[in-house]
A = this chain, B = another copy of it.
Amino acid sequence: MSKPSLARGTRDFGPEQMAKRNFIFDTIRRYFQRYGFLPLETPAFENLSVLMGKYGEEGDQLLFKILNSGDFSSKLEEKDWNEGYKPLTSKISEKGLRYDLTVPFARHVVMNRGTLAMPFKRYQIQPVWRADRPQKGRYREFYQCDADVVGTDSLLCEAEIVLLLHDILPELGITDFTVKINNRKVLTGIADLIGAQGMEGPLCVAIDKLDKIGKQKVEEELTDRGFSENSITLLAPVFDLSAAKDPFLALKNWLGSSETGMQGVAELEEVWNLVDKLGLKNPKIELDVTLARGLSYYTGAIFEVKANGVQIGSISGGGRYDNLTGTFGVPGISGVGISLGVDRIYDVLEELNLFPQNQTTSTKVMLSNFDRQAFEYGLSVLPKLRLAGINAELYPDSVKLKKQLDYADRKNIPYVVLIGSDEMGSGLLTLKNMKTGDQEKLSVDDIIARIA
């Protein structure tokens, strides 16, 4: 008989973790809805034709693939076995587990575009699965919380994402955070300007290290990454941007000759302007022209959120993509979205001790069970407590009180009602506060009034 174990990179969530995670999910969901996003859920697995080729070569590898049911090998010939596992996979597997929430969303939009009210604002809170090597903070099953708007290119959507983050994060207790914002068009403009078209990626990776390694080392790295001396010279203004009094003005002075770059700056300025018009006081937003994520799909705004004061990566990211559904044959649907990383947010709240107390959904009161008579008395009390909306239980067995109290303790039940012969005689039951140890005699109605 083998000891059972969890599959590598997966977790059980017990009551305490569930309560904490639900605090996060419920908060996020409430604000998603406050902003007009509607819920969507898609299946755990999709046809591989939907998933493959959407996440690059590495993503294809990291997709969990489901073996075809029944005799998957019956139609295979000897040559199929010898072709290598990649072509073989396509012959014995047709389905894969959801890798993110964006591609299933795009699939849903394409399949339902005749009936969806556009612009379509949806949120989706579901697990995704990746066959990554598990390590601290990286799991093979984890939740994503996404909100996206598709079918409009209004920059109001970008501004609303900023406001949404400023509602959700403080409500979770995270008050010290930074929303970094960039625009893909600015990156394209810079690359064009320095004669390094299409090299936005390596450019940003290097510049991003400025604070850590200094200007000289960044320039060395750029040389190593194949940037010409001339490109690096032309890049000089980027190092002064963060110190500029008006970074937008500095950017405009620098990128004036790049139409794309100037459009990016204009979009960024409009987001700042709309955030201001929406009345957000002291927005925690920061222009970061080195912010580069999702370069293969983001075409406008790029977002990333860091919780300050903790050594935990970004807790949220997103951006605008102009061709979400193009891969499914429906081009021209622009959208913008944000994704919140629940596991990282959980770690931040744990590290900063920000989870509210008493978040468990546990029983509020337990009735003790001394003997058959007290048990039957308890049976008559129990439904009254529940009818009053109180989570209540009666210990099912007549065992030693210590064992019953120990149970209540381990389950974090704050109150225990002791029912003995005195109590049954007088109708005044002993309410024990498990935290303070205080006991007092109260009628059932008074107990309800006290703890409801």
**A62 (CB) vs chain B CBs: closest residue:** B69
**A64 (CB) vs chain B CBs: closest residue:** B66
The number of residues on chain A lying at the interface, defined by a beta carbon within 8 Å of a beta carbon of chain B, is 109
Which of B18, B156, B393 is close to A396, meaning CB atoms less than 8 Å apart? B156
Q: Would you give the 0/1 interface string for A322-355, flagging 1 where the beta carbon is closer than 8 Å to chain B?
A: 0000011100000000000000000000000000
For residue A363, CB closer than 8 A to chain B, the reply is yes
Which of B2, B18, B33, B396 is close to A39, meaning CB atoms less than 8 Å apart? B18
| Cβ–Cβ contact A407 & B44, under 8 A | no
CA distance A1 to B69 in the complex (A): 27
**A327 (CB) vs chain B CBs: closest residue:** B1
For residue A43, CB closer than 8 A to chain B, the reply is yes
For residue A379, CB closer than 8 A to chain B, the reply is yes
CA distance A85 to B101 in the complex (A): 33
Contacts known (A64-B69, A152-B396, A380-B277); A12 close to B35, Cβ less than 8 A: no
For residue A440, CB closer than 8 A to chain B, the reply is no
Which of B43, B360, B391 is close to A34, meaning CB atoms less than 8 Å apart? B391
Q: Which residues of B contact A129 (CB under 8 A)?
A: 44-45
For residue A425, CB closer than 8 A to chain B, the reply is no
For residue A137, CB closer than 8 A to chain B, the reply is no
CA distance A391 to B123 in the complex (A): 14
For residue A449, CB closer than 8 A to chain B, the reply is no
**A326 (CB) vs chain B CBs: closest residue:** B1
Q: How far is the CB of A279 from chain B (nearest CB, A)?
A: 5
| Cβ–Cβ contact B383 & A97, under 8 A | no
Contacts known (A44-B44, A97-B44, A396-B119); A111 close to B67, Cβ less than 8 A: no
| Cβ–Cβ contact B3 & A18, under 8 A | no
Which of B47, B65, B84, B406 is close to A5, meaning CB atoms less than 8 Å apart? B47
| Cβ–Cβ contact A7 & B95, under 8 A | yes
Q: How far is the CB of A292 from chain B (nearest CB, A)?
A: 26
Q: Which residues of B contact A13 (CB under 8 A)?
A: 39-42
For residue A357, CB closer than 8 A to chain B, the reply is no
Q: Of A3, A382, A396, which is in contact with the most chain B CB atoms at under 10 Å from its CB?
A: A396
Q: Would you give the 0/1 interface string for A1-28, flagging 1 where the beta carbon is closer than 8 Å to chain B?
A: 1111111001111110011001000000
Q: Would you give the 0/1 interface string for A69-111, flagging 1 where the beta carbon is closer than 8 Å to chain B?
A: 1111110101001001100110011110100000000011011
Q: Which residues of B contact A108 (CB under 8 A)?
A: 12
For residue A423, CB closer than 8 A to chain B, the reply is no
| Cβ–Cβ contact B69 & A131, under 8 A | yes
**A50 (CB) vs chain B CBs: closest residue:** B4
Which of B34, B154, B362, B397 is close to A397, meaning CB atoms less than 8 Å apart? B154
**A19 (CB) vs chain B CBs: closest residue:** B39
Contacts known (A66-B67, A391-B34, A391-B36); A396 close to B149, Cβ less than 8 A: yes
| Cβ–Cβ contact B34 & A392, under 8 A | yes
| Cβ–Cβ contact A277 & B33, under 8 A | no
Which of B4, B15, B121 is close to A110, meaning CB atoms less than 8 Å apart? B4
Which of B39, B43, B81, B380 is close to A141, meaning CB atoms less than 8 Å apart? B43
For residue A136, CB closer than 8 A to chain B, the reply is no
| Cβ–Cβ contact A81 & B85, under 8 A | no
| Cβ–Cβ contact B81 & A73, under 8 A | yes
Task: Please list 22 pairs of residues, one from A and one from B, whose beta carbons are closer than 8 Å in the complex, sorted by A's number.
Answer: A4-B110, A7-B43, A10-B45, A12-B40, A13-B40, A13-B41, A14-B38, A18-B38, A34-B386, A35-B391, A69-B131, A72-B85, A73-B81, A74-B85, A76-B81, A119-B397, A121-B393, A156-B396, A163-B383, A277-B380, A278-B379, A279-B380
- In addition to A2-B49, A71-B84, A121-B393, 4 A-B residue pairs with Cβ atoms within 8 Å of each other are A10-B43, A18-B40, A38-B411, A154-B397
